[in-house]
Structures are given as structure tokens and as C-alpha cells.
Amino acid sequence: MRCARSTAAALAAAVLLPGCQIPQDPKGTLDRVENGVMRVGVVEADPWVELAGTEPSGGVEVELARAFARKAGARIEWIDGSEEELVNACKEGSVDLVIAGLTSKSRWKKDVAFTRPYVETEAVVGVPSGADLPDSLEGSRVLAERGSEEEALLELKTDAVVVSVDSLSEARGRTVAAHDYVLDDLALRRFKRLKREKHVMAVQPGENAFLVELERFLLNREAAIEVLVRREGRP
Amino acid sequence: VTSEHEAGGGREFELPEDLHNQQRKAVRLEWITIAYMLTAIAFLAVTLGQSQAMKAAWIEDLLSLLPPAAFLIASRIRKRDADAKFPWGLHRSVSIAYVFAALALLAMGLFVFLDSAFKLVKAEHPPIGVIQLFGEEIWLGWVMIAALVYSGIPPVILGRMKQKLADDLHDKVLYADAEMNRADWMTVAAAIVGVLGIGIGLWWADAVAAIVISADIVHDGVKNVRAATHDLMDARPRRHDSREYHPIVEQMERELSKFDWIEQGAVRLREEGHVFTGEVLVVPRDGERLSVDQLEGLAEHLLELEWKVYDIVVVPVKEIDIPSPGADRRRAEAARGE
């Protein structure tokens, strides 16, 4: 009992000490990254991470990582690899941040710590903006990118006739299954939702100061992120 | 000859008149406990995050619904009259509820204990990020602590009130429930230490706190499973707080020696939920001719000693062949005398 009491007292003292930041990182990631180097793992995931060779050339999460690094005064060291490689490296602490178009449903959530979702996107069926909304999709021809998740969801959840295409860039004015952020560019409006995705980034589990710093950064930028997603997601 | 307490008013309770009020109060307190704990469980559930200590505290709160539920269900069922199908009545429903609640406690305690130990060994670092509340980003750890305090303080007060009633009513389930509530602050304190530990960068504090909490749940579980199985094994009745044997057996045996026509007597009682039932064996003095009135009078006299004794059978015998405190003592004295 006495031991418990003194532990509690020590904890209380630590909490109340002036200038003592809560939460802290067990391994000091935030301290090391600030005005130092941030190691960012990247996996190609259009439009979130786009690579040219081993360096990123653009993408929503790449832009966000750059902005976060600027704010922290950090230089970024990009590390490319497969998701599994980078998640394992991040788990053990040799990568500070993984960006790979991850969502909150990802299987990696037991291995690395996800941020709170910073943006939500949807896979939808979009119909031409000008026309009336149809009663149902039964029998109508709907375009979807070949080999995409939307293609399968369309088959599974609607009665539409699926027309697989290589690219949606020519789909302007047609009924398509696509992500909601391309609707404006294709002059479409939402008709039916196929799937909702909450996007997250991953950091080493337990490095809570770093996690909180990153989450605060992301959550303060919701409007800017929406714009960024629409720009980067252009077909 | 058998005799049974006949409580007035259609035997609404097994309890004597003056305890009806306490019983009603206890029922009300248990409903309040359930209602409050449900809000606390919901609050904890939304702040749970990945903290193991929070999970342990949450599971303990979930389990703390069991004893009140057992108490409320049993207090409805137990007053049903005996019938052809259940000739001894349904008093034992209390014991059965007690066994289930105790087993749940033990199983969940073991689960959380192993889970936490495993996480500690694997050195899993719990991530706790921010939550948005009223447009502000707050570290989830602070919200967890708020939820823990909310879930921990009122049960302590409820526990104290229930313990008083449990003392009056000699009610085991109510007593176990009150004990669990009263000990709730320790769980809360341990979990807060765990969360603050994560806050200052001690990742292991969380798992250690969870282990402490789960060890306490296991301890409660073992204690209660033991007590509950003893009841079902017809062990000698204990006081509601299990501290010692209930004095009624010895008290009854002392009463027996006051009757001239009784040479020797022995009492054997068992617990059936809230009440005691059992046999009284009497060896009449030589040449004594017993009447039914005599036996019935004895049974009624003994029943008046204690309201918890609900149903006894008085049997005249030639020789006492059951263990009972009085008989054991006599046997020991005889052995020493030889």
C-alpha cells in the first residue's frame, strides 16, 4: 500500500512538474524529429502517394508529410518499400511515419499506431449532373476502372451492367463508379454510396507525443485537405 | 415432525416484517447501481482506446453488473411457494445466481490477466492519440481519466450503503456486490496510474496496472467461487460476510439441552440461498414417551430463534450419528474420559 502510494505521488509530481509535456514518447521520437530528420516510409498509392523512382513526386499524404516536416523543422528522409516491410520497420522504430494510403480498416492496425482519420472518402456511383436522378441502376451501363475495388462493388451491390474501362479520364458525362473526389471533375453527382473509407497514417506504437503532434497537425487542416484530395485525385 | 416459518401476508418475502423496508431499499439501490454502471460503461467504452488498463477497468465494470442482476432476479424468484415440482421451494436460485456470477468473475479475471501479461512480455506499446471535443483536440488520456473517475467514485458510496443493508439482511449476494463496489476505487486508481504512466512515456505502466486490476478480479472470483460451491455442497452455514460460522447451530443445540425430555440432541443446517433448512435429531431420555405436540412445540421454539432458519425437521432417534458441533464436543469429551 505504501509502495502504491509513493508511486502515485511520484506520478503526480511528474504530471505537475512545470514544462513537463504529456504525453511523452518512450523513445523520444518527437524530440529527435524536431529540427532533425524524419524517416518517412512511402508506398505507391495513387492519389495518396505517387512515386517517381524511389522518391515521391506528389500525392495527398506526401504533401501533408512535407508540410508537417516543415512545421517541425525536420528534414525528410524518404524510404520506399512494400507495406509489410515498412510496417515492420515502423513497428520496430527504424521508420517514424508510414504513408501508404492506409485506411482505418487496414490489417496493420495491430502492428502500428494509426492516427485518427484525417479525411473520409467514399466510393460512389455518380450520374451526370444535368440529368434527373434515375430510380434505379437496373440495366444501366456503369463505367468502372478495370481491376478496381469499385468494379467489384458495383457488381455486388447494384443491378447495373458493369462496363470496365482502362481509365476514367474519358468518362465525363457518363454514369460511373468512382471515388467521390473525382465527381466534380467528371461533371457528375453522387447517386449511391458503395463504400466509405477513413484515411490514416501510421507511426510507431507508443510514441504518443509524436502521434499527438501529427494528429493535431492533421485535424487542424480538414478544409485544406479536402481541397488537396480533390486536386491530387483528378483523373 | 416438520415445521416451517409462516410469514404473514402471503409470504411476500422470506424476511421478517421489520426487514421488508431494508429489502425494498436494497432493491432500489441495486437498480440505481445498474443504471449508473450502464452510463459509466458507455463512457468508458468510447474512451477505451488501446489502453490495457482501461480495458481491464471496463471489464470489471461490466462484471459489476452481475451481482446486482443476480440479486434482483433472485429476490423475485426466491419468494415463490414450494410446489410439487420444486418441493423445497426456489430458495436455492440465489445460490445458483451466486455461482454463475462468481464463475464469470473468475473467467474474465483470468482472461484479462493473461492478455495483459502477454502484452507486457511482448512489450506492446499502447498508442493513445487525441480526441476532438467541442472543437478542441485533447489528449485521449485525460478523457480516459475523467471517465475512470466518473465510473469509480459513486459506486464506492453505493457500496457503503449496500453493505449496511447487507448486514441487516444477512444477504451474501448483496454483500459481495457491496464489497466489489467499495473496492472499485482501487481499480480506478490503478487504471489512472496506468494511463498517466503512458503519458509520461512509461509504456509498461499500462500493462502492469491491468495486471494488478485483473489479479484483483481473479482474487474476488476465487473467493466467491469457493463460497458459492461451499453453499451448494451444503456446508455449515456461515455469516453473510463469510467471516465465521453462523452462531445459530450452536445456539440451537444449547436450546436442546434445556428440554428435560431430551437426553442428547444434534442440529444439522444447510444454506438454501438466503435461508437455512435442516434437521434436528433428538435422543429422548429413557422411558420417555414422546407426543407429536412435544416435537412440534420444540420445532416451533427453535424456529423462533432466528428468522433465517426457514424449515426444520425434528426427528427422534436412538443415537446421534451425524457430525455437529455439540455431538463432536461430546465425543471428544468421552474420548478424554476413557
Interface of A with B in 182-211 (CB under 8 A): 203-209, 211
- Cβ–Cβ under 8 Å, residues A60 and A46: no
pLDDT tens for residues A10-67? 555 555 554 468 899 999 999 999 999 999 999 999 899 999 988 899 999 999 999 9
Residue B291 has pLDDT above 70, yes or no: yes
B4 falls in which pLDDT band (50, 70, 90)? low
Nearest alpha carbon to residue B61 among B228, B217, B219:
B217
- Closest residue on chain B to A113 (Cα): B127
- Closest residue on chain A to B195 (Cα): A23
Nearest alpha carbon to residue B311 among B255, B265, B270, B256:
B270
pLDDT tens for residues B35-80? 999 999 999 999 988 889 999 999 999 998 988 998 898 888 877 8
- Closest residue on chain B to A29 (Cα): B201
Instruction: Give the three cell numbers for residue B227.
Output: 463460497
Record: contact B197-A25, CB cut-off 8 A: no
Task: Please list every residue in chain B whose beta carbon sits closer than 8 Å to the beta carbon of residue A97.
Answer: none
Task: Please list every residue in chain B whose beta carbon sits closer than 8 Å to the beta carbon of residue A32.
Answer: none
User: What ipTM does this complex have?
Assistant: 0.79
Cβ neighbours of residue B31 under 8 Å, at least 6 residues apart?
B68, B72
pLDDT tens for residues A62-103? 999 999 999 999 999 999 999 999 999 999 999 999 999 999
Q: Please, what is the Cα angle at B231 between B225 and B234, to 5 degrees?
A: 140
Record: contact A212-B132, CB cut-off 8 A: no
Record: contact A216-B141, CB cut-off 8 A: no
SS (H, E, C) A177-195: EEEHHHCCCCCEEEEEEEE
- Cβ–Cβ under 8 Å, residues B236 and B267: no
Strand order in the sheet with A113-114: A75-80, A37-42, A97-99, A202-203, A113-114
Torsion sign across C-alpha atoms B93, B94, B98, B104? positive
Record: contact B196-A11, CB cut-off 8 A: yes
pLDDT tens for residues A187-230? 899 999 999 999 999 999 999 999 999 999 999 898 899 999 99
A40 touches B at CB < 8 Å: no
A74-78, B124-128, B130-134, B240-244, range with greatest mean pLDDT: A74-78
B338 falls in which pLDDT band (50, 70, 90)? low
Record: contact B199-A24, CB cut-off 8 A: yes
Mutation target among B52, B115, B125 for the A interface, most CBs of A within 10 A: B125
| φ, ψ (nearest 5 deg) of residue B96 | -70, -45
A9 touches B at CB < 8 Å: no
Mutation target among A21, A22, A115 for the B interface, most CBs of B within 10 A: A22
Record: contact B129-A20, CB cut-off 8 A: no
Helix axes B52-63, B140-169, angle to 10 degrees: 30
Record: contact A211-B196, CB cut-off 8 A: no
- Cβ–Cβ under 8 Å, residues B159 and B182: yes
In this structure, chain B runs to a length of 338
